[in-house]
């Protein structure tokens, strides 16, 4: 674990608290209106996934099916 995380003592938080912290951190970035550059490898990955989806549109899983599966597991 990095020294910064050790200093914050995140290990004392339970899973629910850690997830809440992730949400708070994410919201603080969005609220800051940061225009961070998208890494080139992200763009390549997105392009590859788009090409795969377009080449085989039937291979995906409908959102409702994914959502139902996730709901059952939570």
Q: Whole-number mean pLDDT of the chain?
A: 88
Higher local confidence (pLDDT), 74 or 69: 69
Average pLDDT, integer, range 7-25: 91
* pTM summary value: 0.47
Beta-carbon contacts of 41 under 8 Å, excluding residues fewer than 6 positions away, are none
Domain count, the chain: 1
Whether 53 contacts 60, CB under 8 Å: yes
Helix, strand or coil for residue 71?
Answer: helix
Specify the higher pLDDT residue, 9 or 4: 9
Domain that holds residue 7: 3-73
């Amino acid at each position: 674990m990095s020294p910064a995380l050790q200093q914050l003592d995140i290990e004392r938080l339970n899973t629910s608290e850690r997830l809440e912290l992730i949400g708070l951190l994410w919201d603080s970035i969005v609220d800051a209106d940061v225009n961070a550059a998208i890494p080139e490898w992200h763009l390549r990955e997105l392009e590859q996934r788009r090409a795969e989806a377009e080449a085989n549109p039937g291979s995906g899983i409908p959102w409702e099916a994914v959502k139902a599966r996730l709901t059952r597991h939570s």
